[in-house]
C-alpha cells in the first residue's frame, strides 16, 4: 500500500530512507516549537497554547502536504512572521496580537484565491526582481538584530555590548559559540564529508543544559503537559479580522504576503531543483499544489493563534538524506504531533539559548544576496531597503525599498540620460504598489 501510494521504487527510495529523512527534517526545524511560543508570548499570547497549536498545525499541515503533493516538504509557522508580530506590531503599539492574526488570515485568504486562480506568477512581475530577492536578506538582518537585543548581547540603543556580568548574557555568548561550532563543524570519514544534523536544535539543548548550572534555567516540576489543550483555547479563533481592515495595516499585510509568497516560491523551486523535478524550461509542474497547501496552512494557522505557516527550507535536510516522497513529510508531521505532550520541556528554554539559533537563521537568510544584481542602478534600492528594515521595521523597509527603486530608476533616465534604463522603468502596477506601501508614512 505504501509503495502504491507514494511510488517509492519509482522515486528511488524506500521506507527506511523516508523515515530517516522525516526525522532528520524534524530535527532541523523543531526549533520553531521553542521560538514560536517565545515570540508569540512576547506579544501577550498564552505560551502553552501557542506551543500546542504550533505542534498540532505544523504536524497536520505537513502530513497534508505529503498526502496531496507526495513531496518531502514540511511546514510550520515562519520565524520571521513571528518576530514581526511580536516586535514589529505589538511591541511598538501598532496593533494587538488579535489584529495581527487577522492580518495573517486576510493574507492567507488572498493567498488561497491566488492559488486557486493560478495568478501568483503575475504578482512576481509587479515586484522588482532585485527587491524581492533582497527582502529575505533584509528580514535576516532584522531577525539578527532582534535576537541580539532580546538576549541582551547588545544594548537596545545599539551602543556597545550588554552587561557581561549578567549570567544570561554570558550564556547567550556561549550559545553563539556553540551554535557556530555545530553549524559549521564537518567530519571526513572514508573520504566522505559529514555535518551535524539538527545543529540548531542541538545547540539550543546544550546551551539550555549549561544554563541550568549557571542558574539561568528553572527546571519544570513535570515534563508532561498539563492543561495544554485548555490553554490552546486562549489562542484559538481569536483573530480580529474586522480590526485588521484598517488602511495603515495594508503595508503590514503586504509584508506578510511578500514573506509568505516569495518564501514559499523560493523554497519550492530550490527543493524541486535539488530533487530533480524541474522541467526543461526550469518550471516546477507541481508548484500549484504546494502553493495551495501552503496557503491553506496559513489560514488554519491564523485561526489557531499562529503567524504565517510556510514551507520550510530545512526540508532540504531530509531531501539530502534521501527523502523523495510525501512519506517523508508524514513522518515529520507525526514527530510534531508527538511533541504536544511535553510542553514544559520547551517552555523552560531561555532567550539566551534561542537567540543564537535566531542569529544563525538570520545569517542563512543573508545568503540570498548572492543572487542580487550589484550594478550601480539595481543595488542601491536593495541596500536602502535592508538598512531600513534593520533600523526601522519590516513593512517600512519594504516601502522605502520600493520607493528608492522607483526614484533611482527614474533618476537614471531623467538626469543621467541612461537610455538603457528606459526599458526597465517601473511599470504602473509597481508604482501603484509603491504608493500603497508608502501610505503608512502619511496616515
- HSE at residue 114, side-chain half, CA atoms within 13 A, is 20
Identify which of 367, 362, 330 has the alpha carbon closest to the alpha carbon of residue 73.
330
Is-contact 22 318, C-beta < 8 A?
A: yes
Model pLDDT, residue 421: 64
What is the per-residue DSSP string for 258-317? HHHHHHHHHHHHHHHHHHT---TTS--TTHHHHHHHHHHHHHHHHHTT-S-EEE-TTHHH
Contact predicate 314/329, CB 8 Å: no
CB contact at 8 A, 390 and 366: no
Assign 77 to helix, strand or coil.
strand
Q: Which conformational region is residue 7 in: left (phi greater than 0), alpha (psi within -120 to 50 degrees), or beta?
A: left
Angle between helix axes 167-184 and 351-365 (nearest 10 degrees) is: 40
- In the numeric block, the cell 489543550 is attached to 229
CA distance 380 to 387: 11
pLDDT of residue 121: 62
**CA-CA distance, 216 to 294, in Å (whole number)?**
37
pLDDT at 192: 85
pLDDT at 123: 66
Phi, psi angles (nearest 5°) of residue 312: -90, 135
Residue closest to 128 by CA, chosen among 418, 421, 419: 421
pLDDT profile of the chain (443 residues), mean per 10? 82 88 86 90 92 95 96 92 89 93 95 84 72 79 84 80 88 93 88 80 89 90 79 93 89 79 75 75 77 94 95 84 91 92 81 85 79 86 91 80 90 72 78 80 69
Backbone dihedral angles phi then psi of residue 94, each to the nearest 5 degrees: -75, -30
If residue 124 lies in a helix (H) or strand (E), which one and from where to where? helix 120-126
- Check residue 2 and give its pLDDT: 79
Residue found under cell 571526513: 188
pLDDT of residue 52: 93
For position 58, what pLDDT does the model report? 97
Q: Is the CB of residue 393 less than 8 Å from the CB of residue 138?
A: no
**Residue 62's pLDDT is what?**
97
Host H or E run for residue 193: strand 192-195
For residue 133, give the C-alpha cell: 530577492
pLDDT digits (tens, 9 = 90+) for 73-90: 999 999 888 988 998 899
Amino acid at each position: 500500500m505504501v509503495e502504491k501510494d507514494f511510488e517509492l521504487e519509482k522515486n528511488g527510495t524506500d521506507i527506511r530512507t523516508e523515515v530517516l529523512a522525516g526525522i532528520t527534517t524534524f530535527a532541523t526545524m523543531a526549533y520553531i516549537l521553542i521560538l514560536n511560543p517565545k515570540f508569540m508570548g512576547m506579544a501577550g499570547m498564552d505560551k502553552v497554547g501557542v506551543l500546542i497549536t504550533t505542534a498540532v498545525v505544523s504536524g497536520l499541515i505537513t502530513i497534508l502536504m505529503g498526502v496531496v503533493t507526495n513531496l518531502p516538504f514540511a511546514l510550520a509557522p515562519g520565524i520571521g512572521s513571528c518576530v514581526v508580530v511580536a516586535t514589529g506590531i505589538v511591541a511598538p503599539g501598532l496593533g494587538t496580537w488579535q489584529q495581527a492574526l487577522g492580518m495573517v488570515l486576510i493574507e492567507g485568504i488572498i493567498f488561497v484565491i491566488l492559488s486557486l486562480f493560478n495568478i501568483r506568477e503575475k504578482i512576481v512581475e509587479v515586484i522588482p526582481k532585485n527587491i524581492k530577492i533582497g527582502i529575505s536578506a533584509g528580514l535576516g538582518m532584522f531577525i539578527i538584530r532582534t535576537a541580539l537585543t532580546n538576549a541582551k548581547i547588545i544594548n537596545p540603543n545599539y551602543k556597545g555590548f550588554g552587561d557581561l556580568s549578567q549570567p544570561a548574557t554570558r550564556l547567550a555568548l556561549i550559545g553563539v559559540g556553540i551554535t557556530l561550532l555545530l553549524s559549521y563543524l564537518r567530519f571526513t570519514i572514508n573520504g566522505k564529508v559529514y555535518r551535524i544534523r539538527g545543529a540548531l536544535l542541538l545547540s539550543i539543548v546544550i546551551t539550555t543544559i549549561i544554563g541550568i548550572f549557571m542558574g539561568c534555567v528553572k527546571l519544570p516540576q513535570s515534563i508532561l503537559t498539563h492543561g495544554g489543550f485548555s490553554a490552546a483555547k486562549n489562542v484559538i479563533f481569536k483573530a480580529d479580522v474586522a480590526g485588521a481592515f484598517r488602511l495603515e495595516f495594508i503595508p503590514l499585510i503586504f509584508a506578510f504576503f511578500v514573506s509568505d509568497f516569495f518564501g514559499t516560491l523560493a523554497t519550492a523551486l530550490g527543493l524541486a531543483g535539488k530533487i530533480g523535478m524541474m522541467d526543461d524550461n526550469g518550471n516546477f509542474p507541481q508548484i500549484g499544489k504546494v502553493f495551495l497547501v501552503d496557503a491553506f496552512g496559513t489560514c488554519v494557522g491564523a485561526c489557531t493563534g499562529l503567524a504565517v505557516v510556510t514551507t520550510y527550507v530545512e526540508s532540504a535536510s531530509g531531501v539530502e538524506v534521501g527523502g523523495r516522497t510525501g512519506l517523508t513529510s508524514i513522518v515529520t508531521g507525526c514527530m510534531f504531533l508527538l511533541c504536544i505532550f511535553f510542553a514544559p520541556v520547551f517552555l523552560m528554554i531561555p532567550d539566551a539559548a534561542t537567540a543564537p539559533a535566531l542569529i544563525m537563521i538570520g545569517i542563512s537568510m543573508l545568503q540570498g544576496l548572492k543572487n542580487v544584481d550589484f550594478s550601480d542602478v539595481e543595488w542601491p534600492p536593495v541596500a536602502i531597503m535592508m538598512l531600513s528594515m534593520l533600523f526601522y521595521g519590516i513593512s517600512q523597509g519594504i516601502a522605502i525599498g520600493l520607493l528608492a527603486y522607483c526614484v533611482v530608476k527614474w533618476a537614471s533616465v531623467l538626469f543621467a540620460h541612461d537610455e538603457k534604463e528606459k526599458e526597465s522603468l517601473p511599470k504602473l502596477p509597481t508604482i501603484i504598489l509603491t504608493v500603497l506601501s508608502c501610505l503608512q508614512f502619511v496616515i
